[in-house]
Amino acid sequence: MALSKQPYKGTRDFFPKDKRQRDFIEEVMATTAESFGYEPYDGPLLEEVELYLAKSGEELINEQIYSFMDRGDRKVAIRPEMTPTVARMVAQIHREVAKPIRWYAFPNFMRYERPQKGRLREFWQFNCDIFGAPGRTGEIEILQVAIELFERFGANSSQFEILINDRKIVDTVFKDLLLCNDEQTHKLYKIVDKAKKVAPDALQKMVNDTGITESAQKLFFQYINISSLDEIVKFLKSNNKHEVADEFAQFVSEAKLAGLTEYLNFDASIVRGLDYYTGIVFEMFDKHPENRRALCGGGAYHNLLQIFNEKPLPGVGFGLGDVTLTDFLNVHNLMPNFEIPLNDVLVTFQDPNGFQSAMKVARELRKKDFKVITMLEETKMKKVFELADKKGCKNVVLIGTDEVATGKIQVKNTEKRDQKDFNLNDIESIINFLK
């Protein structure tokens, strides 16, 4: 039986144009992160499964993780996310290094998902995390990085928004105001997560089924409908939850000062499925009607280092997937065209004896960092320019019989429609022409 040419379900082959696109995305991510002083890091593809069992949350563990026994009977998993790995790495070195620690990475992950728009089994995810920042400054900075990144891709506040909540608020509302026990709290987390995707009566039924009282239900629906930063603060104060209200109000005022509120909105349905978050949680959403989906997700996690028996070190970060980002850039016409590669010079010869000269000029130009493609056989004149176009070369070198006889080459700039003959050894003049 013939083997399938298709990649494994939910994974992608990156043909050159796709790889150019991914490299472009990565480049913008790296330059943005580095403009804030974030340093690149990476970790292993496999981790012991326990690392994820500790705090990655039910859905990831029960439904999505790729895990297996290795030959030494260790249960390992292909990384489904980076946060446990980065926490493990930071746990090794945080005592010796100056804080805050600012790191970024663009690793690939595997999650066993039903492939659909925006969701695959293998995807790349930009991770940007800060550890040990004082007060709420880490949260503010991480949101700034996320916004700056989208701005560098050419997007603005009419195209995306960040919906935010705080796990402390969610816990306060569920446990202190609705008086939920642990099981009910757990159920409500899941219900809230689905709140926007289900019809009102289905939502009502799910809430009924938790067994919380009628007055708690009333308060729950009041809470779930809040959609502004100021409103949630008012809601908490009117219910005598001054401490949490003041803490969040402080975050809001810092976010306002940092100019972030143009992008930020409160959303009670943002709780995030990962167990490690302890402070703000957020998701960035595409505002385009055809692509109303989460582009990235993140939050503050202050206790993750404790799973390694380390003292708490506040961490905040986000993960942005390449699949959702690509959809976003496409739907807003922000993705450059990567059909054609970018090269500088196509070196051709029309006389069979031109090969040596072609090789020589190409070698010299590459030494000066030009991207040079040499044809490996004679190329007819009428084909040269078509080929140059396909290979993204703005310049062509022609070496015909006359040129071979006189030790010259002809260089043409197809854009400027300029051309000149050069002595093969006069590389400096050739370079000046190409520049």
| 302 belongs to the binding site for ligand HAM (CB under 6 A) | no
| 298 belongs to the binding site for ligand HAM (CB under 6 A) | yes
Which range of residues in 33-41, 133-141, 158-166, 317-325 is near ligand HAM by CB under 6 A?
317-325
Figure out which of the listed residues 21, 25, 51, 81 binds ligand HAM, where binding follows CB under 6 A: 81
Among positions 251-280, residues that touch ligand HAM (CB under 6 A) are: 274
Cβ contacts of residue 98 below 8 Å, gap of 6+? none
Among positions 126-155, residues that touch ligand HAM (CB under 6 A) are: 127, 129
- DSSP code of residue 72: T
Instruction: Tell me the Ramachandran region of residue 148: left when phi exceeds 0, alpha when psi lies from -120 to 50, beta otherwise.
Output: alpha
163 bridge partner residues: 265, 283
Q: Which 3-state string (H, E, C) describes 177-188? A: HCCCCHHHHHHH
| 320 belongs to the binding site for ligand HAM (CB under 6 A) | yes
| Rounded Cα–Cα distance for residues 301 and 313 (Å) | 9
Which is nearer to ligand HAM, 120 or 396 (by Cβ)? 120
Is the bond leading into 100 cis (omega within 30 degrees of zero)?
A: yes
Least Å from the CB of residue 298 to ligand HAM: 4
| 374 belongs to the binding site for ligand HAM (CB under 6 A) | no
| 20 belongs to the binding site for ligand HAM (CB under 6 A) | no
| 111 belongs to the binding site for ligand HAM (CB under 6 A) | yes
Structure token digits, residue 67: 């895990």
* Buried-exposed string 337-350: b where 16+ CB fall within 10 A, e elsewhere: ebeeeebbbbbbbb
Least Å from the CB of residue 109 to ligand HAM: 7
Cβ contacts of residue 171 below 8 Å, gap of 6+? 185
| 107 belongs to the binding site for ligand HAM (CB under 6 A) | no
Least Å from the CB of residue 310 to ligand HAM: 17
Look-up of token digits 């005598």 = 240
| Rounded Cα–Cα distance for residues 175 and 212 (Å) | 11
Least Å from the CB of residue 124 to ligand HAM: 8
User: x/- string (CB under 6 A) for ligand HAM, residues 324-343?
Assistant: x-------------------
Contact 151, 327 (CB under 8 A): no
Least Å from the CB of residue 119 to ligand HAM: 4
| 370 belongs to the binding site for ligand HAM (CB under 6 A) | no
List residues binding ligand HAM (CB under 6 A): 81-83, 111, 113, 119-120, 123, 125, 127, 129, 274, 294-299, 317-321, 323-324
